[in-house]
Amino acid sequence: MNIRIKSYMKNPVNAFFMQHRFKINYFKKLTSKNAREVSFHFYPLFLEVDQDLLLPGEPCTAMFLVMKGVVGVYIRLKTGEELFTDYLGEGSLIGQYSVIEQEIMIIGFRVVSHGGASLI
């Protein structure tokens, strides 16, 4: 049996996005054609445990989609202590609203899973 795979699905980043886009409110209403076009703007990124993705006080210049691993959401208190408020896993979108205006982040995002995290 000869099964043809569409060329955009050969790329794991594109395939992951196309499979998960309906779970993400931000992308739910995209047509298949538009979703394919959007998927080509994602690039793979791997971060080790304890690496920051976005820091409080810095502008948000991109959005990220968690492919594998866990990213912790934290706030920095006046004392300098960091308090984790949430944890985001596979299929979670980060920075989707802040990137539009390149807003200064009031929260931070840090990889908390041992073994790191893969994002696009």
Residue carrying the six token digits 């299929």: 91
The H or E element containing residue 71 is strand 71-76
Per-residue pLDDT in tens (0 to 9) along the chain, 120 residues: 444 444 444 677 777 777 777 777 778 888 888 887 877 777 889 999 999 999 999 998 888 989 899 999 999 999 999 999 999 998 898 988 788 788 888 999 999 999 999 888
Statement to judge: residues 95 and 110 lie in one domain: yes
pTM of the model: 0.79
116 and 69 both lie in a single domain:
yes
Q: How many degrees, rounded to 5, is the angle at CA 116 between CA 37 and CA 97?
A: 45
According to the model, what pLDDT value does residue 111 have? 97
Residues 26 and 49 reside in one and the same domain: no
Total structural domains in the chain? 2
Its domain, for residue 24, covers: 1-42
Q: Closest Cα to residue 110, out of 54, 52, 63?
A: 52
In whole angstroms, what is the distance from residue 105 CA to residue 92 CA? 17
Assign residue 116 a region (left: φ > 0; alpha: ψ between -120 and 50; beta: otherwise): left
